A and B are shown apart, each in its own frame.
Chain A
Amino acid sequence: MPGARRRKGGSDTKKPQSGEASSSSSASPSFNKPDKPPAPPLPDKNYNIQKRNENVVKKWSCIDSCCWFVGFICCFWWFLLFLYNAMPASIPQYVTEAITGPLADPPGLKLHKQGFVAKHPVVFVPGIVTGGLELWEGHQCADDLFRMRLWGGTFGDVYKRPLCWLEHMSLDNETGLDPPGIRIRPVSGLVAADYFAAGYFVWAVLIANLARIGYEEKNMYMAAYDWRLSFQNSEVRDQTLSRIKSNIELMVATNGGNKVVVIPHSMGVLYFLHFMKWVEAPAPVGGGGGSNWCANHIKAIMNIGGPFLGVPKAVTGLFSSEARDIAFARALAPGRVDFQTLQHIMRMTRTWDSTMSMLPKGGDTIWGDLDWSPEEDYKCSVQKLMNNDSEIVGQTGEESSENANCVKYGRMISFGKDLAQESSSKIQRMEFRDAHKGNNLANTCRDVWTEYCDMGIGGVKAVADYKVYTADSILDMLHYVAPKMMKRGGSHFSYGIADNLDDKKYEHYKYWSNPLETKLPNAPEVEIFSMYGVGIPTERAYVYKLSSAAECYIPFQIDSSAEGENEESCLHGGVYSVDGDETIPVLSAGYMCAKGWRGKTRFNPSGIRTYIREYVHAPPANLLEGRGTQSGAHVDIMGNFALIEDIIRVAAGAMGEDIGGDKVHSDIFKWSEKINLDL
């Protein structure tokens, strides 16, 4: 047998035969091909038969078996596919119900039965990363991709031609606009951000539920924008803000004068804040809508997971283009996530102005200094309890605050775990701001441009020697390590706290997306909701180390070996976490609505009513639920039934009080009180 197999090449039969001797022994003469002369009639019949058996086996050549195998798999697959297609559509649901018991009606259907109907037109403002981008003009390597999605969808081209893809996704280093010869534009319409990739919903569930009570294209509008650009540049290049303004006006006019309900998500929250300032500012730089525009066109703003005061994650994204996930992956497989990849990513993301809109705002006043932070009494061990029973939260929180040594969240970046815990008097810091950067002579990576390549050993050392960074000093540090980028971003965003909001300088657009440097519009009828998930550990501060790689590298990385002493510690893999929705800490999402804008303050002169709606995270009970109907995670919350129900009620006309006012599970009010900000 093995011999026969080895001679497989000789056979050129195209017809396969089964290995069964009985079947083919009789037929074999007819199958014999010219290259194999028919067996001579031998006296010994026994031998003859054996010989024939051998012939038969030989014909099962390698290629034949291979074809057979492929064919078998294909047929089988098609058969399954056919069965799947022929199956009545109700079976999956039936199976699910058999396993988990009867499903609850989706909120849209439930409310539809209760008699809710579409009333106010809704506007969705997607966040960073989730919106699709398509190619309108490109270099030769992307010739066949015209009007195809480069971002969102399948991401097939990331694998097919990674360099070409990176080149197209990057923006111009100097201007933050299109590089010459490349035009990437946001996808428009609801498809822009309904699904991020196949099967990974963003807005789709919300849209489907709104459709149940009668929403459709004419009263639903996705304010898609190019999320890589700075907010004002999206107006300069695409006139996106103007188009949002006109479309809102159009929807109000064609829907019987009902004002719109705006639903921004993630960075869209800041974008819409910018929009509200822009639309009322006079024409050359603003939209020229007049001072009553917001009052006349907006009913409510329902912010979902809004990073009002920024996110600490944005710092590490810019600093070393990593976050907890990447640091974790790196710890698992040290060689896999190579620095070249990260550097490519860094080079691309640093051309995107929008990432800078999410740096922490308000400095030490909000985020805490070396010794103090608003969340200092937060106990991470509570997390597990909370998942089981959210009512215990209050008690445990109080108990733990007594005996725990407080985590110093204010130190957003510390070099070394010890420094993150040391009392501030013992830390010796070297000033880095004026330190000489040195020249990186060994720099061989000119082609992969990041500003780290312009920095020598001296500069790297100076940064590390400062040891501990708070929100304020982080900005200085970023200015030090990436001066060009921060200069570009600095003309579009600002991160401070205004002393006097009536100052003329605050008419500049760079302040518009910072809630601590702008006033809300004069529209007392409008309601602002802040809706976000709680109960998931969220990145808040990092332990860093110098990376060890030799030449071409990002000199800093998260020290993923830094772990807390025990299970209850907040430190895991070099990251200190607090309560939040996995991306945005509670403080950032909730502070403005809990305190900054509550009542008549200087940030909210007309006394717009604000509400906080928190949703406690509950992981999906089983696989069939997919990403869960009670999730509180940053994106998955868009499928949270409670949140969807709130939105539908408001869209159908309810006021904040009607849906129950504040709904708070975290310590947001307590933490807000600790922040000493002039209101």
Chain B
Amino acid sequence: MNSSKLKGNLCIAMLSFASLLRFLRICIFEHLKCCSLLGCKSYGTPEKKQSPDEKVFQEIKKSRNKRQKPMGWKCVDNCCWIVGYLCTTSWLLLFLLYIVPVSLPGLKGPEIPGARLKREGLVANHPVVLVPGIITGGLELWEGKPCAEPLFRKRLWGGWGSGFTDIFRRPVCWMDHLSLHYETGLDPPGIRVRPAPGLVAADYFAPGYFVWAILIENLAQIGYEDRNMYMAAYDWRLSFQNTEVRDRSLSRLKGQIEIMYATNGDKKVVVFPHSMGAVYFLHFLKWVELPAPVGGGGGSGWCAKYIKAIVNIGPTFLGVPKAFATILSAEGKDISLIRAMAAGLLESEFLGLQTIEHVMRVSRTWDSIVSLLPKGGETVWGNLDWSPEEGYNCESEEKRQLQALSKENNTRSSTDKSLFQVKHHKKYGRIISFGKEASEVVSSQLPTFSKDFMHSSTSANSSTSRGEFWTEYDDMSRENFQKIAENKVYTTTDLLDLLRYVAPKMMQRAEAHYSHGIAENLEDPKYNHHKYWSNPLETMLPDAPDMETYCMYGVGIPTERSYVYKMSPSDRRKGIPFRIDNSADGSDSCLRGGVYFVDGDESVPVLSSGFMCAKGWRGKTRFNPSGSATYVREYRHKPPSSMLEGRGLESAGHVDIMGNVALIEDVLRIAAGATGSELGGDRIHSDLLKMCNRVNVPL
């Protein structure tokens, strides 16, 4: 069977080769004819002059002098030749690749988990809803300015569409369209950018960079298709309540869940939110049960009736410290690294390329980023002297990764050993400190400044000319920045104040939609306001005792937790006054390039993704009054062992985890009807429980 196929393929290959050669021969003869015609002319002249013998030498000399002019010709020819050579070779290779049968033994990857589980007898049972996170969802243009005329219904963000490449062709136009209105957080006038619908919304972020695609493929193996799988695409730039106000996204999600429930034989749905989708769905849970004018009017039994389980993948329940760095200076670990390597690249004003400023201007119009700011204040994230992760040892993490390849049994002992070597705890609670010392000294040695200046309004010098890229930094004076830097250390609570100080309008806009505190008394009617719904510490889970909540996330990758900052060089009038001090390196690997790391999935620290499931909602607490079951499933990171594996079958990176075999297997089993205890309950690798015990939130 296979060999005959191979033979057939070879035959086809030979035939097409023959025709290719025939074609080429025609081309060449044509070409040579041309050449010879051209050549005749050029030969003609020298031959005439060759007759007098003594002139020949001179002739050669002359031609040597003339060499420069013909060399130009030759260069073009050379270029053509090289290009042609490369093209032909690559075509040949492509052609060969195309002929080679797909199932060549050497290239065959391991069987995908879906196929294996199908053989075990798993079949599609509960309809599934996928809720994508921030950034990964596609956005398309529905109405735009003249510069974007040809991009109608093309992707401006993500996906296969051609609009994404416009970031290079007309960056300013592209940024204009992706920005929202600074005052309202909704569409700017004359521009409508809408989320792409359907599974294509977030299956691939860019060509070849999967997000949900692998999970979808595995689900399809056991029988899922369009009718029992729904991608709840929403505009991730908007605040959650605004997605309902503008696009009716929440209503549509509710409607789709009801449709799927009804058309699949009254089976409850399983929801898979990823990243920010987890908080979005938390918002939805609260919205759907509240009465109509502000909520979805589903009634108090809605969640119990329609939802079997919420399987959060890499959830950002308590926020991420990265969000502070993003808002404050539009950079994270990656960007500060680039800046360290090529100092001039990002801020060169050449051609008006102020990339970072542009990024900051656009991203500050997005309300959703504020939803990612750390929640729970100092109680959860630590204060000047204390933090829940303080026992964490970064060295051990690296050792563990090395040893995981050879023998996994020894890991624990070595971890324990290295734990004793820790001399002083890292002060993760100081999320931003100006200068490396400030991040390390005992709090009593810190200069005591009053932080009152932040509560006074900025001395807005309105005379500042508002340039092309306008950020609220331009409204502030240099002295204000100085004062901020002199204050040295900031905890989460301080940082929220700081943001209100440096970007008052943005925070005013966004804080109408989000809150970052801890509720004293959840019965207080003020918590019916929608700004509290996405904060797990200020809402109760719905009354659905049978609903299961999972927190699935990766561990074993250093994740940003706090930053060392410095002032930017002062020579520039506009721009961002602070930046990460990427020269700050610690004695151990916890501090590298101005960033302190803890355990996590590269984007979200363990504390943020795991705390609610491990403690906040565990058992009957005030946040989970019906006592619905929660499970924590951690996946240890193992980098891909070879290039062939692509982004890894056991990776635990924030997005790459969606291709993690173990996670996919869990996901499929849950969708096919397994309960949390059947999966094996909790599976914890990190020090999550220890950390949770240190967090003193009244439950």
State whether the Cβ of A211 lies closer than 8 Å to any Cβ in chain B: yes
Interface membership of B643, Cβ < 8 A: no
A15 to B74, CA, bound (A): 10
Q: Indicate which residue in A1, A20, A65, A144 contacts B73 across the interface (CB closer than 8 Å).
A: A20
Nearest CB of A to B49, in Å: 10
Q: Kindly state the separation between the CA atoms of A62 and B169 in the bound complex, as whole angstroms.
A: 40
Docked-complex contact A217 and B194, CB < 8 angstroms: yes
Chain B residues 49-102 with CB under 8 Å of chain A are: 50, 53, 56-57, 60, 63-64, 66-67, 70-71, 73-74, 77-85, 87-88, 102
Q: Are A218 and B36 in contact (CB under 8 A)?
A: no
Closest Cβ–Cβ distance, residue A271 to chain B (whole Å): 17
Of residues 462 through 520 on chain A, the ones whose CB sits less than 8 Å from some CB of chain B are: none
Q: Are A53 and B152 in contact (CB under 8 A)?
A: no
Chain B residue nearest to A89 (CB atoms) is B150
| Contact digits for A195-231, partner B, Cβ 8 Å, 1 yes 0 no | 0000000001001100110001110000000000000
Task: Indicate with 1 or 0, residue by residue over A3-43, a CB within 8 angstroms of chain B CB atoms.
Answer: 00100000000011111111111110000000000000000
Decide yes or no: A211 and B143 within 8 Å by CB, A49-B50, A66-B84, A144-B102 being known contacts.
Answer: yes
- The answer to whether B615 has its CB under 8 Å from any CB of chain A is no
* Contact of A69 with B27 in the complex, beta carbons under 8 Å: yes
Whether B142 sits at the interface, judged by CB under 8 Å, is yes
Q: Tell me whether A390 is interfacial, beta carbon within 8 Å.
A: no
Complex formed: what's the CA distance from A53 to B47 in Å? 11
Contact indicator B50/A23 (Cβ below 8 Å)? no
Given contacts A17-B74, A146-B217, contact A49 B28 (CB under 8 A): no
Q: Chain A residues with Cβ under 8 A from B251's Cβ?
A: 250, 253-254
Q: Which residues of B contact A17 (CB under 8 A)?
A: 74, 77
Q: Does any Cβ of A come within 8 Å of B15's Cβ?
A: no
Say whether A246 contacts B258, CB under 8 Å. Answer: yes
Q: How far is the CA of A185 from the CA of B220 in the complex (A)?
A: 12
User: Does B226 count as interface, using CB distance less than 8 angstroms?
Assistant: yes
Complex Cα spacing A16 to B255, Å? 68
Please state if A18 and B143 are interface contacts (CB–CB under 8 Å).
no
Q: How far is the CA of A70 from the CA of B35 in the complex (A)?
A: 15
Check if B46 is an interface residue, CB within 8 A of chain A: yes
Interface size on B, residues (CB 8 A): 74
Which B-chain residue is minimally distant from A237 (CB atoms)? B227
Q: Using Cβ atoms and an 8 Å threshold, which residues of chain B touch A242?
A: 259, 262-263
Known contacts: A26-B63, A211-B152. The answer to whether A19 contacts B38 by CB under 8 A is: yes
Could you tell me how many residues of chain A have their Cβ less than 8 Å away from some Cβ of chain B?
Answer: 70
With A71-B80, A75-B79, A217-B194 given, is the CB distance from A22 to B31 under 8 Å? no
Partner of A65, one of B32, B67, B82, B147: B32
Q: A600 an interface residue at 8 Å Cβ cutoff? A: no
Residues A188 and B198 in contact, CB atoms below 8 Å apart = yes
Whether B84 lies near A68 (C-beta < 8 A) is yes
- For A89, the chain B residues whose CB sits under 8 A away are 147, 149-150
- Chain B facing A: main interface SS: helix
Measured between beta carbons, the chain B residues less than 8 angstroms from A625 are none
Asked if B640 is an interface residue, CB under 8 A from chain A, the answer is no
Are the C-beta atoms of B263 and A243 separated by less than 8 Å? yes
Instruction: Write out the residue numbers on chain B whose beta carbons fall within 8 Å of the beta carbon of A21.
Output: 39, 42-43, 46
As a 0/1 sequence over residues 317 to 333 of chain A, the CB contacts with chain B under 8 angstroms (1 = contact) are: 00000000000000000
Whether B500 sits at the interface, judged by CB under 8 Å, is no
A385 contacts the other chain (CB 8 A): no
**Which residues in A have their C-beta under 8 angstroms from that of B149?**
89-90
CB pair B73–A18 under 8 Å, yes or no, is yes
Q: Which residues 60-109 of A sit at the B interface, judged by CB distance below 8 A?
A: 60, 62, 64-75, 85, 89-90
User: In the complex the two chains form, is A250's CB within 8 Å of B252's CB?
Assistant: yes
Asked whether B408 is an interface residue with its Cβ less than 8 Å from the other chain, the reply is no
Q: Which among A5, A18, A90, A146 is the interface contact of B32 at CB below 8 angstroms?
A: A5
Q: Known contacts A68-B77, A72-B80; can you find 19 more A-B pairs with CB under 8 A?
A: A20-B73, A23-B71, A26-B63, A49-B56, A60-B35, A68-B80, A70-B83, A71-B80, A71-B87, A74-B83, A89-B147, A89-B150, A90-B149, A146-B220, A147-B199, A208-B153, A246-B263, A250-B256, A253-B251
Task: Sample 24 A-B pairs with CB under 8 A, ordered by A number.
Answer: A1-B36, A5-B32, A22-B45, A24-B70, A26-B60, A45-B53, A46-B53, A62-B28, A65-B32, A68-B84, A69-B84, A74-B84, A146-B220, A188-B198, A190-B153, A211-B153, A212-B143, A217-B142, A243-B227, A243-B259, A246-B259, A249-B255, A250-B252, A254-B248
B residues in contact (CB < 8 Å) with A? 24, 27-28, 31-32, 35-36, 38-39, 42-43, 45-46, 50, 53, 56-57, 60, 63-64, 66-67, 70-71, 73-74, 77-85, 87-88, 102-103, 142-143, 146-147, 149-150, 152-153, 169, 192, 194-195, 197-200, 203, 216-217, 220-221, 225-227, 247-248, 251-252, 255-256, 258-259, 262-264
